[in-house]
Amino acid sequence: MTRTKPSSIPDPEPLEANKWLVTISIGFGSLMASIDSSIVNVAMPHIRGSVGATIQEITWVSTAYIIAMVLVMPLTGFLGALFGQKRVYLASLIIFVAGSMLCGIARSLPTLVAYRAIQGFGGGALQPTQQAILRQTFPPKEQGMAMAMFAMVIMVGPAVGPTLGGWLTDNYSWPWIFYINVPIGAIGIFMTWRFVREPADVLLANRARAVQQRKNLDIAGIVLLAIAVSTLQYVLEEGPRNDWFESPAIRTCSFVMVLASVTFVVRELTATAPVVDLRLLSDGTYCSATLLGGVMFAMLMGSMFLLPLFMQELLGYNATQSGLALMPRTLAMIPLMPVVGRLYNRVHPALMIGFGVLLFSLGSYEFSHVTLESSVFNIVLPMVITGVGFAFLFIPLATVALDHVPRAKLADAAGLNSFIRQIGGSIGLTVFATLLERYATRAGSAVATHVTLLRPEVWQQMMGIQSLLTRRGMDVVSAQWASLRALAGRVVLQGMVLAYEKVFLLQGIVFLGALPLLFFLKVDRHKHGAPVELPLE
């Protein structure tokens, strides 16, 4: 008697034919989650006024979202095995849209923070699940193109977020930065339900794994992960504002984070059905590509923090202008991504990644020469250079990282990969923000030692300012004090310029230090349909 295929298992054959519909369907949610990581930042002053929060308190609107999102990312494979990848994506998208609506109607800080956490819980699984579904949908020879589509969503979001947020806030009101997710999310929910199908082999493997997971539910792993992630994010977010280990709360959270992290690693390596499969890191290609991805996001988030701050505080741009000034990087990346995706099968990914690292370092070097007199061209050129660099970085990294991972484990690998990228971005943001503050203090002190009234040029500047103020009606004594304050302000300003230059240069140097990881990247060219293997070593 012939056994027929159960109707609950969809035929995987139509997947390749509908790959572009699948790509568009699952792109909506990931794009919104990516944009919402940065869209709130430019609206913070308006939100703070509406909910009556202090500057210290309002930061939790972003912190709650990041903590919740990062907590869910490594659980993507675990949840996908239990409930199915498509169901997890749909449920996450529904939670994200519901959280967005709640954020828009929130009128107090506690409710807004709680709703942002709900939004983050929904957004956390969207990007890893999208990456896994794309890898399972596109044929092996088109994996580079699949990750090009993924990269366009992940990399464009942080660049578009500030500009879109500024425009919506300036022309409507801050709740619309959340309400805009509702219609877009509804389209994504319908298209995902209608067009996305899970491959039969992945469904069968997940069902078998789900049976084992239910018998050996790793509750301890989930609890330890929650403690480790939440305390780590708290330390990274609040450390710079609380003078790091001078704060008892930071010291306590750091201790708890280290203890929970070590215990979590031991638990996951010994558990029968671990909630996060850390054994994936034993593969050299996956481990090195994932670590490089973490370093790349540290550089990306660091520059996304430094550049708008430099343009707003030193060059006098407003929020919308600084957001638009970041667009050349995105505009340079978008047309290149499909090209890089096609090149993946012909050029060894290590060579492309190395080229991207060199371009980013070159762009950082150019940024380190930007001054208060720099023209728009002096800012746009390094933007374009780093944009091209990121195009050659992200796609090969996202593709080669999962090259040796079995199809049934793609969701686990993508979740862990996204988690490390996000943690890398948080660490980069914190480190460069802290270094900027310290370098500015030191540079300001160094400049101040050379600004003395005993120097003729300093005396002439002060007298020029004093003369200008007296001509405008200020008395002599007040003009003298005002001119001294003006000189002090120039000292602080020049100190900030020097600090930015130093941090930009440091970014490029640090990224070059990650180049040795490229030697661990191994690619199966026959799997991707490439004609020849291009060895790196």
Polymer length of the chain: 537
Instruction: Say what the pLDDT of residue 320 is.
Output: 66
Instruction: Say what the pLDDT of residue 10 is.
Output: 43
With 0-12 CB in 10 A as exposed, 13-18 as middle and 19+ as buried, what is 314?
Answer: middle
How far is residue 125's CA from residue 29's CA, in Å, rounded to a whole number? 10
Instruction: Say what the pLDDT of residue 218 is.
Output: 76
Instruction: Identify whether the C-beta of residue 40 lies closer than 8 Å to the C-beta of residue 97.
Output: no
How far is residue 36's CA from residue 181's CA, in Å, rounded to a whole number? 9
Ordered alpha helix ranges (H), 124-240: 126-137, 143-171, 176-179, 181-195, 200-215, 219-238
How far is residue 367's CA from residue 379's CA, in Å, rounded to a whole number? 7
Amino acid at 107: R
How many Cβ atoms sit within 10 Å of the Cβ of residue 211? 12
- The conformation of residue 205, written as its DSSP 8-state character, comes to H
How many Cβ atoms sit within 10 Å of the Cβ of residue 248? 9
How far is residue 295's CA from residue 505's CA, in Å, rounded to a whole number? 16
Choices 1.20.1250.20, 3.40.1410.10, 1.20.970.10, 3.30.70.100: CATH for 10-208? 1.20.1250.20
Instruction: Say what the pLDDT of residue 11 is.
Output: 41
For the chain, the structural domain boundaries read 10-208, 219-270
How many Cβ atoms sit within 10 Å of the Cβ of residue 459? 12
Instruction: Identify whether the C-beta of residue 302 lies closer than 8 Å to the C-beta of residue 504.
Output: no
Give me the residue label for tokens 């794994």. Answer: 209
Instruction: Say what the pLDDT of residue 537 is.
Output: 37
* pTM score, whole prediction: 0.74
Structure tokens at 246: 């001078």
Instruction: Identify whether the C-beta of residue 340 lies closer than 8 Å to the C-beta of residue 395.
Output: yes
**If you write DSSP's letter for every residue of 376-439 in order, what string do you get?**
HHHHHHHHHHHHHHHHHHHHHHHHHHTTTS-GGGHHHHHHHHHHHHHHHHHHHHHHHHHHHHHH
How far is residue 507's CA from residue 501's CA, in Å, rounded to a whole number? 10
Q: Could you tell me which residues come within 8 angstroms of residue 483 by beta carbon, excluding any fewer than 6 positions away?
A: 462, 463, 465, 466, 469
Q: In degrees, to the nearest 5, what angle opens at C-alpha 408 toward C-alphas 24 and 36? A: 40
Instruction: Say what the pLDDT of residue 259 is.
Output: 92
Structure tokens at 471: 């001509």
How far is residue 5's CA from residue 310's CA, in Å, rounded to a whole number? 61
Three-state secondary structure along 173-195? CCCHHHHCHHHHHHHHHHHHHHH
How many Cβ atoms sit within 10 Å of the Cβ of residue 401? 30
How far is residue 433's CA from residue 452's CA, in Å, rounded to a whole number? 30
Instruction: Identify whether the C-beta of residue 295 lies closer than 8 Å to the C-beta of residue 492.
Output: no
Note the Cα 439 to chain centre separation in Å.
24
How far is residue 502's CA from residue 443's CA, in Å, rounded to a whole number? 10
Instruction: Identify whether the C-beta of residue 380 lies closer than 8 Å to the C-beta of residue 328.
Output: yes
Per-residue pLDDT of the chain (537 residues; tens, 9 = 90+): 444 444 444 444 444 447 778 878 888 787 888 777 777 766 777 787 777 777 667 777 777 888 888 888 888 877 877 788 888 889 999 999 999 899 888 888 889 889 988 998 888 888 888 877 877 777 777 777 777 777 777 767 766 777 777 777 777 878 888 888 888 889 888 888 888 887 777 777 777 777 777 777 778 888 888 888 888 878 887 777 777 777 888 889 889 989 988 998 888 888 877 878 888 888 888 888 888 888 888 887 777 777 777 777 777 776 667 667 777 877 888 788 788 878 877 888 888 888 988 998 898 888 888 877 777 777 888 888 888 888 888 888 878 887 777 877 877 888 888 888 888 887 887 788 788 878 877 877 766 676 666 566 655 666 666 666 676 666 666 666 666 666 666 666 777 788 888 888 888 888 888 888 887 777 665 554 444 343 333
Q: Could you tell me which residues come within 8 angstroms of residue 296 by beta carbon, excluding any fewer than 6 positions away?
A: 390, 393, 394, 397, 421, 424, 511
Helix (H) or strand (E) holding 497: helix 476-512
Of 37, 29, 150, nearest to 93 (Cα)? 29
Give me the residue label for tokens 């007040």. Answer: 478
Amino acid at 366: E
